[in-house]
Each structure stands twice: as structure tokens, then as C-alpha cells.
Structure 1
Amino acid sequence: MACFLLPKTLCSELENIMARFWWQKKHGQRGIHWCAWKELCSSKESGGLGFRRLDQFNIALLAKQAQVLKAKYYPNSDFLQSRLGNSPSLTWRSIWAAKKLLKDGLCWRVGKGDRILVWNDCWIPGTILHGIEQMDNTEIESVSGLINATTRMWNRGLIETTFPEQIAQKILQIPLTEVEQDDFQV
């Protein structure tokens, strides 16, 4: 499960086998279904038993493998910008399938700000900038344009005129280091 993308039909069949095992009275006898399998798959805190949805678990394991491969094969570049290629191996195709999950879950930690696109990347905790109407300063592309290079502080006036008030406050709360560091994703 951690190396290959399993077909959804196979995941569904495996979940059916687990459900039958869970609900049967004796070998070969059907039991009573006290609640839906979907409810059993919810977390224990939510009243379920914490069973995993196998298709989602498969993608999560592949995303973990992608992080390992990124550290080994993409130490100085971005795995998320990688291409599938012309004739990829089954393993690479499977791991590449988890790329969207990784992309949705990663957020940039601001360093220099030169690698982070203001309007396209996730860099403000708890905020998505897609669909937000750009205000006056639409020429700003990277986050480095919002940072005063000499003082290493946010350019408060520029941020307040560029973003809605709530988002501007969230940006101003993001800590900046005194010494320039590279941006990285967490």
C-alpha cells in the first residue's frame, strides 16, 4: 500500500471483507449491522472505531513516500514541480498520484520570500488567496516584495493597501527571521 496506488475497486473489496469479518456472528453466518461502515471508519473521538478508509490511507502512505523521495532526489529543487515523464515506472506513477494531496497540505514558511508567489501559493496560515480580489498593488508577485529588505520587517503600509484587513493582520503576525533564510514548505 505504501509503494503502489491500489485500484479503488480493490480497496472497496478489501473494506467489504473487513466489514463482513466485523459483522458476522459465526463463520459463514451473517450478523446484524448495528451501524454503517462509514461510521465505523470515523475517528474514535467522533464516535467511530477508527478503521481506515483504504483508498485514502493508500494515498496518505504514497504522500509519505513522496516526502522521503523528495529528500533524496530533490534536495535543492521542488518535488511538486516535477513532471511525470514519458514512460514512468509504476512506482513513480503511484507516488506522483499523491502529489495533489501533498500540494494541498503543504504551506510555505516565509524566509526570503523570493520563492513564494503571493497569489498562488499557500503561505498565510489558515487562508487561501485564490479568489480574493487583488487590490491596488497587483504588480507584487512574490512575498519578498512585501518585506523591507533592510529591516527584515513586513512593509505594513503596502500590506494594508494590498490585502483585506483580516488577511493583512494575519500576514503581519507571521514572524520573520532577522537573518535571511530560504523559504521552505512544511
Structure 2
Amino acid sequence: MAGRATLVQTVCSSMPLYHMQHNMLPKSVISQIEKLERAFLWGSSPEKKRCHQIGWNKICSPKAFGGLGILSLREMNLAFFYKLAWQLLTKEDNLWVRFIKGKYGVASNGVFEVSSKPTDSSFWRDIIRILPEFKDQIAWEVGDGNKIGFWDDKWISKDMILREYVVTDDHNINSSEKLSDFVNDQNQWDIGKLSNMLYKPAIYKILSFVPPDKQAGMDVPLWNLGDDSGFTTKSAYLSIKKLEANCSPSVWSSIWKGNNQQSHKLLLWRMCHNSLPTRSKTASWSGSSATCPSFFWDWRNRVVNEPGFVYPNEPHRVILSSAKNQLAAWKVVEASSVINCSWVQGFSLKIGLSNPLFAEIWSIAEGLSLAWNLGYRKVILENDSQVAVNCFRSGFNVDKVCHPAVKKVWDLLSKDWVVKIKHIPHIANKCVLTFLLKEV
């Protein structure tokens, strides 16, 4: 079975992937493919049917969630279309994105506001059909506030939409209003406008955040289930299957990381699912008697089937030795680390939804601003994010869509002072961000 599981995972379920990246396969085709996969996995044939002892939905879960990592084709097909929708939202310079937006009249800020006609291509109609559920997985990091829909986008938290906190009737709401429409001429929240339309708890929540900054870059979409809020097809697949992207270590991980044979791992996997064909289990499938004259251990089987077999003299020692070997195969040693650093000065700021990279860039911007305002003119900036540090080194090409605070940092770096930007490993950095400030 271990060999068949490997073949299904690496060959059968991977063959349709190329076509699924740009076509929604018919449900009947997917059903037929998965029917053949199930039969092959459990060793069924037209001549001899075998019991499928674990549900296909469990088998199609990742190994860390108790499955075999075999792809569910319907959900993988949908994940690929999530990827296309993500590119429409974030990769405005891609040739195919420019072509599609031009052909169907999609404005740069209006991906979620378009519709399809019966005469449109099936490709476009399939994308439009998945946009509502795709939008539920999108949050926003605030930049200049010109792309975020004030009422229907998730920008305060990943589960809060302001339309649900409106005082007046929904018909009086302009759904096209952006975040920047609620900022006054002094670049502060327009409290008067907010008070007329929202309940006080929502207003207090909004006022706790920094308003959109005209000097910052564009608003940035965040993928809810990504490790760094960036989109991956894997995280899309997990979201469709309603599984958490970051799961804690479990018994399943221990099974697959063990240093034993694949067939033994599969046996343990089936044991944890309680799907081995023991007498009691087969009785529950067939309705026969569950009474068993002996346990299905290897020695007892050999006593029955091998007349010359003799029990070991000290069976407990054999069992303990086997258990110790299994434990050694699963043991994971975590290296300890020593961190040395000292605190200079710090700050805190609510920036709303973000991811680790964007938070690093915002902290660099605020930290440089703090150093400048304190009068320091020679600054060594140390940061443990290599990607964030690279954004501010000469010759590095920064994607303007992905970094709304980059412009603010470059404006600070252009001032009349000396700033050296250095990367240090996380193990040497006790603080997330450290500034060594020296007077001229």
C-alpha cells in the first residue's frame, strides 16, 4: 500500500495539475479520476473489491493533519483559480493581467466590483464565480487609503467589516467610498463624518489606528492564511479545506518524521486512524462476531501458523529494546541559543493589519523618524530581516505594490545625515529592531 500511495500522490494526482491552472475541470471528470485513485490505493479491481477503510476526504488532507498528502482535485483546481485572482489583485504589471483587465474593463481599484456576461470566455466567468469566496480571505494593510473599500474590506481586523456597524440604513452608504475619503485636510480621521454613520465602539476602534498616509505607498492586500500574509497555492488549498495553515506538531508529524521504513509509517498511520483490519474492526464492517481467540501480535500469529515457533525467553526485553529504538528514531533535539543585546530606546505604534515584513519596514520608518527628531545624525540601523534590509540598499528593485512604507523610509534616508543599514541574524538580536545612536 505504501508504494501505491506514493504512485497516487506523485503521478495520478499530479497529471491533471497543468490543465487545472487555467481551466475548471468538469465535476464528472474529477469524480472519475478520484474513483480510479481510490481503487488503486486500496488495491481494488473490477474482479476483486476491497474495503476503503479511511475516508477519501481524510486521505486528501496534508500529512500534518492526518492525511496522506494526496491532492483533492476539486479543491486544488479552486486553489489555482485563487492564485489567478490574487495575481489580478496584486500583479498589475503582468502582461496577462493587463490584457484581461483591458479586455473586460477592470479598473485598477475595482477587481471585486466587476461582473461577467454569458458571452464572456469560460475562463473569465470562472474567475468571477470564485471572487466572492476569495474576497473573504483578503485583508488589507493601510497605505495611502486609495484602494481599500471603507465599508466592505477587512482593514481593521481579519474578521471585522464596518458595514455591520452602520447606524443608518445600508441604502444610504456609498459602497465605493475608500478609506482616504474619511480623512480630513489635516490628515486626521474625519470624526464628524464617522459619528454620523457608525456606532461608537467602531469609531473608537478606528481612532486607535493611524490614518492613511498620503506619503506612503499604495494599500497592500494581505492573504489571511499565509505565514507572512503572502499568497501561496498551499495556503489557498488549506483555506478551501478549512484547515489552519500553522498547525502545531502532532502525532501525525511524529509518524512521518521517524527514521523507519515507509511501509511501517503507513502501518502506524492506519493504527492511529483505527483502520487496521482487526477482528473487532472487520466485525463492525461485516456484522460478524468480534470474539478473538488471541491478539494479532506477531508472536501469537506465529504460534498459530508456525508449529515450531517458541516464545522468546525474556519477551519484555525484546519489547523494551524495540520501543527504545522507535523513540530514538523520533527524537528531535532543538539547539539552544544564547542572545546578547542591550535596550537603547523603543516605541510602539498601531499600524493595523500587516505581516512580519511590512511591520519591519514600518518600524524602520518610525525608528529613523525617532532618531532624526532626537537630533542624532550618525545612526547604525541593525535589523534581523534580510529582505527588509535589502529594500533600502542601493540598486535593489522594490515592488511598489508590496511596500507602502518604503517611500517614507527613502525620504528619511535622503536627509542630511549618515545612516548605515546592517543585517544581523535573529540569534544576535534581543530586540526586534535596535538602533545604535551616536552624536556627531
C-alpha change, 1:176 and 1:144, in structure 2 (3 Å) is closer
The answer to whether the 8 A contact 1:156-1:172 is kept is: no
Which residue of the partner structure matches residue 108 of structure 2? 76
In the TM superposition, residue 36 of structure 1 has moved relative to its aligned partner by 1.1
> Deviation above 6 Å: which 4+ runs of structure 1?
155-161
Q: Deviations along 1:88-133, whole A, 9 cap, x unmatched?
A: 1232223333323332222232223244333222222322326633
Which residue of the partner structure matches residue 365 of structure 2? none
Instruction: Provide the C-alpha distance between the structure 2 equivalents of 1:111 and 1:53, rounded to a whole number of angstroms.
Output: 37
Which residue of the partner structure matches residue 129 of structure 1? 161
Which residue of the partner structure matches residue 61 of structure 2? 42
Which residue of the partner structure matches residue 29 of structure 2? 10
Which residue of the partner structure matches residue 262 of structure 2? none
Superposition pairs for residues 1-186 of structure 1, below 5 Å? 1-24=20-43, 28-69=47-88, 71=92, 72-73=97-98, 74=101, 76-129=108-161, 132-135=164-167, 142-147=178-183, 149-150=185-186, 152=187, 162-163=198-199, 165=201, 168-169=204-205, 172-173=208-209, 177=213, 179-186=215-222
Aligned length: 184
Q: Is the radius of gyration larger for structure 1 or structure 2?
A: 2
Q: 3-state DSSP class of the match of 1:17?
A: helix
In the TM superposition, residue 5 of structure 1 has moved relative to its aligned partner by 1.3
Question: Structure 2: which amino acid aligns with 1:185?
Answer: P
Identity in percent: 25
Which structure has more relative contact order (CA 8 Å, sep 6+)? It is 1
Instruction: Provide the alpha-carbon RMSD of the alignment.
Output: 3.7
Q: TM-score, normalised by structure 2?
A: 0.35
Q: Which runs of 5+ in 2 are unaligned?
A: 1-19, 102-106, 223-440
In the TM superposition, residue 86 of structure 1 has moved relative to its aligned partner by 4.9
The answer to whether the 8 A contact 1:120-1:129 is kept is: yes
Q: Which runs of 5+ in 1 are unaligned?
A: none
In the TM superposition, residue 61 of structure 1 has moved relative to its aligned partner by 0.7
C-alpha change, 1:154 and 1:131, in structure 2 (3 Å) is closer
Question: Structure 1: which amino acid aligns with 2:136?
Answer: D
Q: TM-score, normalised by structure 1?
A: 0.72
Instruction: Provide the C-alpha distance between the structure 2 equivalents of 1:80 and 1:96, rounded to a whole number of angstroms.
Output: 9
